[in-house]
Amino acid sequence: MIIHHDYSLLGHNTFGIEARCRRFIEYASLSELDEALKLLREEGETQFLHIGGGSNLLFTKDFDGTILHSAITGRETVADDGEHVELRVGAGENWDRLVEHCTAEGLHGLENLSLIPGEAGASAVQNIGAYGTEAGDFIVRVETVETATGRRRTFTNRECEYAYRHSIFKGKLAGHYIITHVTFGLHRTFAPDLGYAALRRELEARGISLASVTPTLLRELIVSIRQSKLPDPAVTGSAGSFFMNPVIPEERFRALQAQYPDLPHYPAAGGVKIPAGWLIEQCGWKGKRAGKAGVHDRQALVLINCGGATGADIVQLSDTIRRDVRERFGIEIRPEVYFV
Ligand code: EPU
């Protein structure tokens, strides 16, 4: 177990915000996690937070408490019937290296989630998604430790309550369980999900027929689409999409569509999903800056750190954008990024 005191979180958030925490504990095994939780219980430490790769959070100030981070790694095949393979993965495994490994090993399903920053444990909390695929579609079970008691509990896929960018670990059980391992159910037969419009456009542009798409090619395509739209985390601080795409009632959508015939939209549970990036772009924010915070010039859903921004700078820009979208369209957009 590694313990740091008064520790900089700069290397633990992709926004590149300089914030500090009172203590940072990294554990590399279940027994080390047990030890860390015992320590927190004995001290009566109430302020603690578990983070993954820090790619979906925004530090708005220093954190006066303990931050926990998993360094539990490893990938093992726990079931294999020749077609379906269950791969059990440590929560601290890097997400994209996992996708790369699966693609190379002929274990299919996760290709569309290539290049998403973050770690395996957080994928099961956030239900990360891209290009028509969500992690929850492939998660079989999630192993956890209850923070209050140290007891182990395994959640089935159903118990995780997966929905768009949502799970029970973000919802009613937020903060109560720490994910130690995630088991993914993958296929040996490659049945690519090529339904997403941007993906089809890219295939067409490259003159590639749907039938000739290989796993490696699909991964390469996703990587190149992401690189063309999203900032490189090594160069520009961001947390990917800052807001969730709002779902609005059908009649509200029809009224808006009459006004904006080009309004992009997708069917969704409970109404119609509108890309928040489009709403933000319409409000004139794409590529704009407000001090050290800004809006990415190729994807308006992404707020960026233009260099030296504080969490408060980003929050201020987020509030202004939310207000502008509300005033212009009467639609409430909500951050998907977690504010600390
Ligand atoms: N659009 C604009 N202007 C913009 C951005 C988008 O008009 O500046 C419109 C366009 O009509 C475009 C549509 O929005 O066709 C959809 O854009 P895109 O395909 O980039 O997807 P998104 O809805 O903006 C979501 C996810 C991304 C994911 C992509 C691809 C959320 C919050 N975001 O973005 O996830 O990569 O789909 O599947 O659902 C992330 O969560 O960090 C993330 C990057």
Q: In three state form, how does the secondary structure of 75-137 look?
A: EEEEEECCCEEEEEEECCCEHHHHHHHHHHHCCECCHHHCCCCCEHHHHHHHCCEECCEEHHH
Crossing angle between the packed helical segments 215-229 and 197-205, to the nearest 10 degrees: 100
**Cβ neighbours of 18 (radius 10 Å):** 14
pTM of the complete model: 0.95
Residue whose CA lies nearest to ligand 1 atom number 19 = 198
pLDDT at 233: 84
Amino acid letter, residue 325 = V
Q: How far is the CA of 83 from the centre of ligand 1 (A)?
A: 33
Amino acid letter, residue 220 = E
- How far is the C-alpha of 131 from the C-alpha of 309, rounded, in Å? 30
299 lines ligand 1 (CB under 6 A): yes
Q: How far is the CA of 50 from the centre of ligand 1 (A)?
A: 27
300 lines ligand 1 (CB under 6 A): yes
244 lines ligand 1 (CB under 6 A): yes
Helix (H), strand (E) counts: the chain? 8, 20
Comparing CA positions, the residue from 215, 158, 153, 159 lying closest to residue 178 is 153
CA 129 to mean position of chain CA atoms: 7
Instruction: Quote the tokens at residue 242.
Output: 């800052």
95 lines ligand 1 (CB under 6 A): no
- How far is the C-alpha of 113 from the C-alpha of 237, rounded, in Å? 20
Q: What is the mean pLDDT of residues 303-308?
A: 97
Comparing CA positions, the residue from 53, 58, 230 lying closest to residue 131 is 230
- Percent of the chain predicted with pLDDT > 70: 100
Pocket test for ligand 1, best of 56, 116, 278, 337 (most atoms within 8 A of CB): 278
Distance separating the N- and C-terminal Cα atoms of the chain: 24
Instruction: Quote the tokens at residue 208.
Output: 């590639």
Residue whose CA lies nearest to ligand 1 atom number 9 = 278
Alpha-carbon radius of gyration of the chain: 21
- How far is the C-alpha of 71 from the C-alpha of 182, rounded, in Å? 14
At residue 43, the 3 state secondary structure works out as helix
Does residue 147 have a pLDDT over 90?
yes
Instruction: Quote the tokens at residue 17.
Output: 């915000």
Catalytic residues: 165, 241, 336
281 lines ligand 1 (CB under 6 A): yes
Whether the CB-CB separation of 141 and 158 falls below 8 Å is answered with no
pLDDT digits (tens, 9 = 90+) for 183-240: 999 999 999 999 998 899 999 999 999 999 999 999 999 999 999 999 998 899 999 9
Range 155-161, long-range pairs (CB < 8 A, 24+ positions):
160/124, 160/136
pLDDT at 234: 86
Q: How far is the CA of 179 from the centre of ligand 1 (A)?
A: 28
pLDDT digits (tens, 9 = 90+) for 71-101: 999 999 999 999 999 999 999 999 999 999 9
Pocket test for ligand 1, best of 127, 133, 241 (most atoms within 8 A of CB): 241
275 lines ligand 1 (CB under 6 A): yes
Q: How far is the CA of 226 from the centre of ligand 1 (A)?
A: 10
Does residue 339 have a pLDDT over 90?
yes
pLDDT digits (tens, 9 = 90+) for 107-122: 999 999 999 999 999 9
Q: How far is the CA of 138 from the centre of ligand 1 (A)?
A: 22
* CA count, 13 A, side-chain hemisphere, 263: 20
Residue whose CA lies nearest to ligand 1 atom number 36 = 130
Range 96-101, long-range pairs (CB < 8 A, 24+ positions):
99/219, 100/219, 101/75
